[in-house]
Structure 1
Amino acid sequence: MTLQQTISGTVQGLGFDLVETERSAGGLLRVTIDHPWSPGMARSLPVTVEDCERATRQLQYALEVEGVDYRRLEVSSPGIDRPLRHAQDFERFEGEVVDLVLKAPIGAAAAGQVAVNRKKFRGVLQRTEIGWRIVWRDEPAAKPGQRVSAKRTPAPEQALDFTLDELQSARLAPVVDFKGRAPRGGEAG
């Protein structure tokens, strides 16, 4: 069995999904797990420290049996900036604020509304009939303590349609609210 198959089988056997596996210099093996999700389900609970401990113990046994050479094993949750890699990830986090990087700049497709060499976008993820859309406003955020006039007109809303094949990377935007307001997207995530 390959390393990926060993890790995936072990993690799935514990009732988790494998999000990512990474090998680093110095023998570090990093495994990221999450609770399974399917369309129609509410967002799952976050991965706890106990979940990571259980997965670590089981992976240590499985990797020893397979004779995998590593110095340190790290098992963690995807975190607030979770990578989005599969179509199911995009379905799961529809309506959330995401950071996207395109493989190629948008070029002249934006008809002068966006810089032609722009590849990075932060906005709300939406589904369309043919794929996905990111909606954003190019307006600087107010600095803490800065007064913002109620009369100020907001920047126009912009949108970019894309397919998953056009993406270099995508992840949840690490938006943290320390004031205790409602979580982003209206649900706990």
Structure 2
Amino acid sequence: MLPIARGVFNSLTLMTRSSRGAIHTVSAHKCKAAAAESETVEEITDESVDEGKMSGSGAPDPKDRTKVIPVETSMRYLKSAAYKTTYGDSFVWTQYRRNHKGMFAPRKTRKTCIRQGKISTGNPCPICRDEYLVLDYRNTDLLQQFISPYSGQLLSYSKTGLCQKSHLRLMVAVEQARDCGLLTYDVPFREYDYSEYYGKQEKKQEQ
């Protein structure tokens, strides 16, 4: 089926030619519905993928990570129905399980999951496996999932399963968000004994 431009819906019917050469008529309202559906999909995923990013079957390569996802797209993704269907009410790292050799997990996670623009492991960490999870200081909804609600400290990579590179980027993003005032954190309260500072002045006034 030939591609349909967006500005050809003025006529009532459209003429399309199949692979066998037969001509078919398509109603305008069906074309409008199909175009509207494709536009909503393009908001989250861009269909214009380069030929170099295609796999052998012609479909987009799921391991390719050379495409830069804007942080605004990631923020909208966290509030979309696709995110709700994938993760539900859990955090992005809750259902993740590390794949390691032997009975006991290693002390540290792998250095990185992405090498030369592609995922190089069969079990990428919770951030590397989903390209729409962008670690940025403005994406506070994602950063708060890695902060303990009890202590306010950043969760360890041994608990979240992040690779070392993603955990370092997470630390930088959290510190930037706190410096910009986007994330609140508790400051320990300290009681001062002001008599150590003003005691001498009070004695002079009494004299």
Question: Structure 1 length normalisation: TM-score?
Answer: 0.23
Greater relative contact order (CA < 8 Å, ≥ 6 in sequence):
1
Q: Which has the higher strand share?
A: 1
TM-score, normalising length: structure 2: 0.21
